[in-house]
Amino acid sequence: MSVSVRFDDIYKDFGPVRVLHGVSFELPPGRIYGVLGENGAGKSTLMKILSGYEHASAGEIRLDDRLVSFKSSRQAEGEGVVLIHQEFNLAEHLSVAQNIFLGHEQRKGWLLDDRAMRQQAARYLKQVGLVINPDTPVRNLIVAEKQLVEIARALSRHARVLIMDEPTATLTPTETRRLFELMRQLKADGVTLVYISHKLDEIEAITDEIVVMRDGRFITRAPTDSLTRQQMANLMVGRELSDMFPEKTPPASAAPVALAVSGLSVPGWSADISFTVRAGEILGFAGLVGAGRTETFEGLLGLRKRSAGTVSMSGQPVTLNTPQQAVKLGVTYLSEDRKGKGLHVSMGLAQNLTMLMLEHYAHPLLDLQAERAAMAHAKDEFGIRTGNLAARARSLSGGNQQKLALAKFLHPDPRVIILDEPTRGVDVGAKRDIYFQIHALAQQGRAVIVISSELIELIGLCHRVAVMRAGQLQTTLGMDQLTEEELIAHATGTH
């Protein structure tokens, strides 16, 4: 069952932009490989070529010394090469079971064998630790559950080479540990696994070897245990990285309350949530998947129905019934769902950037030159890697899409910024840049709220952290109380 993979002199061009430059390396069979690199390094593109979603402009790929060139992902899956995408590739209107077997439906004579597919889907869901009815429509799932469905679907394909692109970006530590147990079992069964991640602690924990790419080129392959996390990070960015988080500067004692929320309730998700955040403060929100953090803020911004709650800004009552109202009042919200609610990936970069401020660029005709100038400035300020400012957002790597989304929701110059998983899918060098940008926003007197599943991120960045569990706000911890143990204890109810 085990299969080796070899890339020979792979080039890839998107129009005039070359994104892969003669990549060559081999992956011997039956091991777990971590693929590292900054956003735009070419990791995902290379793996999409291997799995039939993209085609190389030049070069060859061999499986067990057999030359292959897959015309489609279906053909690749037929050979046992399966990719779990960084971005969800699910049909929202279909059920979980229908998504798992989409394109590979089981039949009984002329008819679909729905019963067999539901039974097998339930078995795959159990393997990934997701306890839901296989008939549940995917549109009813939260982000983390959709990720687990993606993994279950990959298991149904009986992969010999399984490629995972940022599979834990939405998962809790418990779900991540369960996934690692599954990966170890697959490895024992002879599957070759490729694990793309920016989380160096996970790379260290689960992989046997690492492959580093930079600027579309292969840099090195090495045993994981031969490198420290710091050395991995340095190889990724090609320079020494230090001081991951900026030094915390507490807000002034007399800083006014920028946003006060009292008794906010979102039916089915959270109840009686109250908090304040001051100008110049970074307030974090921690909690397990399903704790209701994202849904609470979607309710606050009018993206979900709320049944109770009052909001004031700078001491004045305000009404936030729609995101548009919020933007006009100086509040912006960057969703954790980058493609679904953050960006219009079929539109251009500048169009995405200026979407929240069209009245600023239309007099009444749209000032295209001003839009292009704004995009050029954002490209430099946020480190967005693209060779073409006129490109569509879908052409960017996942991490660069995240940077564009961040630029978009900061473009209206808000007083209060709510960032939901702001560094998801972002490499270690870009993470540091974003942390310093968030710190700078607070230093400018803005109030920043960070919702994150990464405890180290919350501890290193925030002045205070509110912890939610099962739709309730459990506690708010000050800087001197911020430890992983303390946050986990409150999030799990074991404090």
3-state secondary structure the chain: CCCCEEEEEEEEEECCEEEEEEEEEEECCCCEEEEECCCCCCHHHHHHHHCCCCCCCEEEEEECCEEECCCCHHHHHHCCEEEECCCCCCCCCCEHHHHHCCCCCCEECCEECHHHHHHHHHHHHHHCCCCCCCCCEHHHCCHHHHHHHHHHHHHHCCCCEEEEECCCCCCCHHHHHHHHHHHHHHHHCCCEEEEECCCHHHHHHHCCEEEEEECCEEEEEEEHHHCCHHHHHHHHHCCCCCCCCCCCCCCCCCCCEEEEEEEEEECCCEEEEEEEEECCCEEEEECCCCCCHHHHHHHHCCCCCCCEEEEEECCEEECCCCHHHHHHHCEEEECCCHHHHHCCCCCEHHHHHHHHHHHHHECCCECHHHHHHHHHHHHHHHCCCCCCCCCEHHHCCHHHHHHHHHHHHHCCCCCEEEEECCCCCCCHHHHHHHHHHHHHHHHCCCEEEEECCCHHHHHHHCCEEEEEECCEEEEEEEHHHCCHHHHHHHHHCCC
CA distance 319 to 301: 9
In order of 92, 102, 165, 228, 288, the CA distances from 168 in angstroms are 20, 23, 9, 21, 13
CA distance 125 to 122: 5
pTM beyond 0.85, yes or no: no
CA distance 176 to 172: 6
pLDDT of residue 206: 94
Residue 124: phi and psi, rounded to 5, are -70, -40
In order of 10, 272, 470, the CA distances from 25 in angstroms are 10, 55, 47
* CA 431-437-443 angle, 5° bins: 140
pLDDT in tens, the chain (495 residues): 678 999 999 999 887 778 899 999 999 999 999 999 877 788 889 999 999 999 999 999 999 989 999 999 889 988 889 898 877 778 888 999 998 888 888 888 888 888 888 998 998 888 888 889 999 999 888 877 888 888 888 888 888 899 988 888 777 777 788 888 888 988 998 889 999 988 888 999 999 999 999 888 999 999 999 998 888 888 887 766 567 788 888 888 889 999 999 999 999 899 999 999 999 999 999 988 778 999 999 999 998 998 889 999 999 999 888 988 999 999 999 988 776 777 888 888 989 998 888 888 888 888 888 889 989 998 988 888 887 888 888 888 777 888 898 899 988 889 999 999 988 777 777 788 889 889 999 999 999 999 998 888 899 999 999 999 989 999 999 999 998 889 988 988 877
Asked if residue 464 lies in contact with residue 488, where contact means CB atoms within 8 angstroms, the answer is no
Token pair listed for 225: 């245990």
pLDDT of residue 1: 61
Note every long-range contact of 85-91, with CB atoms under 8 Å and residues 24 or more positions apart, other chains counting.
Answer: 85/150, 85/165, 86/44, 86/165, 86/166, 86/169, 86/196, 86/398, 86/425, 87/338, 87/339, 87/398, 88/146, 88/147, 88/150, 88/339, 89/150, 90/138, 90/146, 90/149, 90/150, 91/138
Q: Which of 65, 56, 89 is nearest to 163 (CA)?
A: 89
CA distance 359 to 299: 26
CA distance 6 to 28: 8
pLDDT of residue 387: 79
Domain annotation for the chain: domains and CATH numbers: 5-242 (3.40.50.300), 244-492 (3.40.50.300)
pLDDT of residue 240: 60
CA distance 118 to 112: 11
pLDDT of residue 239: 63
CA distance 378 to 382: 6
Token pair listed for 163: 């490629």
Token look-up 């929240």 returns 356
